[in-house]
């Protein structure tokens, strides 16, 4: 079963990496990029992020739900959505709590874009009291769970479509018709 799981995770990583590559490259191409290296950098970041998210979500979902049964409907979607919610909620909660304590304020100013929403959030978070840490932790957990859960489910659906098509072709070759 470990070989099957590693194959599923590898397939998810490849699918997520390809999706991230396309989305990262397209976003840079639509924006005001000056050099081709900017486009390549955005595509690379997208590929790394998409592949990591899909593989991580799939792994965590596999560990929580176990290996899928042969007759199970849409196993990738279930596992990557659950894994994405779990990983995204945890990471978002930790990041929000770190912002709420004021520990990550300097790093956040360097990483996050400079706009009105970011400035207000960092201003609110920089005061660093426990209730703000809790509030920002909950907000971060919610945003992380929703975002990563959606992206994980999306990658899982792509893999389920591919696997369902493979299964259909195999059944047709065996003369069992499309089931």
Under DSSP, is residue 88 helix (H, G, I), strand (E, B) or coil? helix
The sign one gets for the Cα dihedral 131, 84, 46, 52 is positive
Q: How far apart are the first and last CA of the chain?
A: 25
**Around 8, how many Cα atoms within 13 Å sit in the side-chain half-sphere?**
25
Work out the angle at residue 177's Cα, subtended by the Cα atoms of residues 173 and 168, and round it to the nearest 5 degrees: 65
111's tokens? 């990483």
Per-residue pLDDT of 113-137, as tens digits, reads: 777 877 777 676 666 555 777 778 8
- The reported pLDDT for the residue numbered 59 is 93
List of the chain residues with pLDDT < 70:
1, 33, 102-106, 108-109, 111-112, 122, 124-130, 177-179
Contact 53, 148 (CB under 8 A): yes
pTM value is 0.77
CA 167/CA 59 separation, integer angstroms: 22
Residue 53: enclosing H or E segment and its boundaries? helix 36-65
- The reported pLDDT for the residue numbered 102 is 67
Contact 127, 93 (CB under 8 A): no
- The reported pLDDT for the residue numbered 153 is 92
Cβ neighbours of residue 157 closer than 8 Å, sequence gap 6 or more: 74, 76, 77
């Amino acid at each position: 079963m470990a070989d099957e799981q590693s194959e599923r995770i590898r397939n998810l990583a490849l699918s997520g990496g390809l999706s991230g590559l396309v989305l990262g490259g397209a976003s840079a191409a639509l924006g005001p990029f000056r050099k081709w290296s900017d486009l390549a950098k955005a595509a690379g970041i997208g590929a790394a992020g998409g592949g990591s998210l899909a593989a991580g979500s799939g792994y965590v979902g596999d560990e929580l739900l176990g290996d899928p049964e042969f007759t199970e409907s849409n196993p990738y979607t279930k596992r990557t959505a659950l894994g994405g919610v779990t990983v995204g909620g945890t990471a978002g909660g930790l990041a929000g709590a770190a912002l709420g304590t004021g520990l990550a304020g300097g790093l956040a100013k360097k990483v996050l874009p400079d706009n009105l929403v970011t400035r207000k959030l960092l201003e609110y978070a920089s005061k660093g009291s426990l209730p703000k840490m809790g509030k920002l932790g909950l907000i971060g957990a919610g945003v992380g769970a929703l975002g990563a859960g959606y992206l994980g489910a999306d990658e899982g659906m792509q893999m389920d479509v591919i696997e369902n098509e493979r299964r259909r072709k195999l059944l047709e070759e065996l003369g069992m018709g499309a089931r």
